[in-house]
Every structure is written in C-alpha cells, then in structure tokens.
Amino acid sequence: MQAPTIRLAAATDLTALATLFDAYRQFYEQAPDIALAKSFVADRLNQQDSVIFVAVNSMQQLIGFCQIYPSFCSVIAAKIGVLYDLFVDANARKTGAGRALMLAAHEYAATNGLQRLDLTTAKNNLKAQALYESLGWLRDEVFYSYSKNFT
C-alpha cells in the first residue's frame, strides 16, 4: 500500500474536504450538516485564516485533513499554532495518514516560526492520544481547559 501524500488544501478540494469535515464533526457528536461544513471550510480557505493540510491516497482521493489556527502565547511571548482538527476517514485509518498529517504540521510550525503547537482531544480518544505521544507530544497535567458558549 502506497503511503498517502500530504499537501496544502486548495479551493478545488472544497467538496471532498467538506465531506471529511462533516464526518469529523459527527465523530465529535455533532449532527450531520454538510452545508454548514462546506460553508465553514470555504470560509477558512477563502479568508486564509487557518492552514489546512490534506492526505491524498493513490487514487487522488482525500482521506484525511488537519487544520492549524495561528495564535499567540502571552506567557512565552511568541507565536504558536493550535492544531484544532485532525481527522482520517474510517476506511483509511492505519494507512499512516494521521502520522503524516501530524508530521506536516510539525514541519509547518518549524518553518513558520511557531514556538509551539497545542491541541486538545477527547479523553476517550485513546488512539489519537497514542499517536500524539509517539510523536513527542506531552499531555498537560497542570492546566485545566475551560470553555463558555455564547449561542
């Protein structure tokens, strides 16, 4: 089996990427909404306010993606990135796509002056946690994460 190719997402990927993004949202227990997914991904691509890498199989089908949002860390007074999304289609898991996407994110951070990448994942997403830890990511044992909804 040929390893997936990783590249930056392009406008021509919108439909396939939105399908993956909708599946990603469903993985996190959101209702299916392909129109919302397509609109959100189109905005990210058009506004260029995130970096989206895609994994492509040997048949040139998108099988996964990761998305990084630029941010800052006041404590270290530096630019960082938030790797908010990582998803590989269920049929393409164990192909190395997730690892390859993470390595592309690492390379992007290193070559673009980011001091750090941060991510969060569900407590029960043990497979993803194993991947992150195998790549040298450290679980935060000091800080709690909070959020507040305004809708």
Query: Any idea where the domains of the chain sit in the sequence?
Result: 5-134
CATH 2.60.40.420 for domain 5-134 = no
Task: Spell out the alpha helix ranges (H) of 75-148.
Answer: 97-111, 126-134
* Helices 14-27/34-47 angle, 10° precision: 120
pLDDT given at position 28:
93
Confidence of residue 151 (pLDDT cuts 50, 70, 90): confident
Confidence of residue 90 (pLDDT cuts 50, 70, 90): very high
- DSSP one-letter string for 36-56: HHHHHHHHHHHHT-SEEEEEE
pLDDT given at position 1:
61
